[in-house]
C-alpha cells in the first residue's frame, strides 16, 4: 500500500483541482437547498398553523409532520444527486484506485449483513441494514472489502408503535487472513472504566455475560482505551502484540472515533463508528479542507497495518 506522503502528493497534484471545480458546484447546491428549504418550511408551517386552528387531531398533526420530514428528505436527496455523483466519480474513485489499482469501487453496494453478524462485535442482530460505497479487492496481496454501513434494530412498544435504533453507523472493514484463528478475540472501546471508574468498570467488564472471558493486557495505556474479550486467552495475547496495540492506540487518539476489532475464523473485522456516511461530500462546509479526503486514507492504513502486523507475527502462526 502506498504511503500517506505519496497519497498526499496525489491529493494535491491530481485531486485538488477537481475539488476546486466541485467547490463551485457545492456553493450552488447550498444556495439552492437554503432557498427552496426556507420556502418549503414556510409553506408547511402555514399549513400546520391552519390545521391547528381547525382543531385537527394529534394523529393528523403527527401524520402531517411525517409527510413534512419525508418530503424534505426527498427534496434534499434530489438536490444533491448530481453533486454526489460528481464527487464520488472525481474524488473517491480515483483516490481508491491510487491506493491500489486492483481495488474495485461500487457506489451503490455495501458489505454483506452476514459479515456484520459473524464479526461478533455486536451482541444484537440488526433487523435492517443499509450502506453504500463498497470497495473490494486486494491491497499488497491482502483481501479486503469495506463500505459505509448502517445497522438498525426494530422496537415495538406496548401499543405496537414501531421505532428504530442504531446499532452501528460508520465504516465496516473485512479482511481475510490465510490462517484460522482458534478462538475469537474482540477488542471494544472501554466505556465501562471511562464511565464508572477503574474499580467498578473492571467489575462490570468481568461480569459481562454476553461476552467471552475478559483478557487483561499488560499495557496500561491500551487498557485505558480498550477492553479485550476472548475465548482463547493465550491466542488473544499472541495476537495483541505491543506493536499492534500501539497502532490501535495511535488511531484511536488521532481519529477520536470509537474503534472495535474482532479476530474470528479467517477474518479480521474493524468497525469504526463515525455516526455519518464517511464518503459523502459536504454541502455546508468547504470541500477544500485537506482532512476531508485524507481521513479515508488514514483509516485504510489502519486496517492494512493490522493485517500486515499479524503477517509478521510468526510466533502466532507457529502454533498452527
Answer for the pair 191, 166: CB distance below 8 angstroms, yes or no.
Answer: no
Quote the pTM value: 0.80
Q: What is the DSSP string of 23-85?
A: HHHHHHHHHHHHHHHHHHHHHHHHHHHHHHHTT--HHHHHHHHHHHHHHHHHHHHHHHHHHHH
Rounded average pLDDT per 10-residue block, the chain, 320 residues: 76 82 89 89 82 77 81 84 88 84 91 96 94 88 88 88 91 84 91 48 52 88 92 90 86 83 91 82 77 67 67 53
User: Apex CA 139: angle with CA 108 and CA 310, to 5°?
Assistant: 120
Backbone angles phi, psi at 239, to 5 degrees: -65, -50
CA distance 281 to 88: 8
Radius of gyration of the chain, Cα coordinates, nearest whole angstrom: 23
CA distance 123 to 282: 33
Answer for the pair 264, 212: CB distance below 8 angstroms, yes or no.
Answer: no
CA distance 292 to 23: 13
Answer for the pair 297, 4: CB distance below 8 angstroms, yes or no.
Answer: yes
pLDDT at 195: 44
pLDDT at 207: 47
CA distance 99 to 123: 33
pLDDT at 101: 85
Fill in the DSSP letter of residue 119: T
pLDDT at 206: 53
Rounded to an integer, what is the distance from CA 123 to the centroid of its chain? 17
Amino acid at each position: 500500500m502506498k504511503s500517506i506522503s505519496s497519497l498526499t502528493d496525489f491529493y494535491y497534484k491530481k485531486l485538488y483541482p477537481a475539488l476546486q471545480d466541485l467547490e463551485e458546484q457545492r456553493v450552488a447546491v447550498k444556495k439552492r437547498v437554503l432557498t427552496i428549504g426556507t420556502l418549503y418550511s414556510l409553506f408547511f408551517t402555514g399549513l400546520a398553523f391552519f390545521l391547528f386552528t381547525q382543531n385537527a387531531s394529534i394523529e393528523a398533526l403527527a401524520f402531517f409532520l411525517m409527510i413534512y420530514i419525508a418530503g424534505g428528505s426527498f427534496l434534499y436527496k434530489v438536490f444533491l444527486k448530481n453533486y454526489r455523483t460528481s464527487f464520488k466519480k472525481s474524488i473517491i474513485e480515483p483516490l481508491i484506485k491510487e491506493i491500489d489499482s486492483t481495488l474495485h469501487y461500487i457506489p451503490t453496494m455495501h458489505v454483506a449483513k452476514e459479515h456484520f453478524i459473524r464479526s461478533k462485535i455486536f451482541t444484537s442482530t440488526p433487523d435492517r441494514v443499509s450502506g453504500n460505497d463498497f470497495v473490494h479487492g486486494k491491497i499488497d496481496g491482502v483481501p479486503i472489502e469495506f463500505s459505509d454501513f448502517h445497522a438498525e434494530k426494530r422496537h415495538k412498544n406496548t401499543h405496537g408503535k414501531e421505532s428504530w435504533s442504531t446499532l452501528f453507523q460508520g465504516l465496516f472493514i473485512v479482511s481475510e487472513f490465510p490462517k484460522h484463528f482458534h478462538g475469537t478475540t474482540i477488542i471494544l472501546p472501554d466505556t465501562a472504566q471511562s464511565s464508572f471508574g477503574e474499580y467498578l468498570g473492571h467489575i462490570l467488564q468481568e461480569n459481562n455475560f454476553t461476552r467471552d472471558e475478559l483478557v487483561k493486557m499488560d499495557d496500561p495505556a491500551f487498557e485505558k482505551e480498550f477492553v479485550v474479550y476472548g475465548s482463547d486467552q493465550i491466542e488473544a495475547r499472541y495476537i495483541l502484540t505491543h506493536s499492534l496495540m500501539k497502532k490501535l492506540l495511535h488511531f484511536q487518539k488521532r481519529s477520536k472515533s470509537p474503534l472495535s476489532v474482532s479476530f474470528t475464523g479467517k477474518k479480521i473485522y474493524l468497525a469504526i463508528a463515525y455516526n455519518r456516511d464517511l464518503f459523502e461530500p459536504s454541502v455546508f462546509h468547504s470541500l477544500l479542507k485537506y482532512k476531508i479526503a485524507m481521513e479515508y486514507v488514514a483509516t485504510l492504513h489502519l486496517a492494512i497495518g493490522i493485517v500486515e502486523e499479524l503477517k509478521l507475527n510468526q510466533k502466532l502462526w507457529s502454533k498452527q
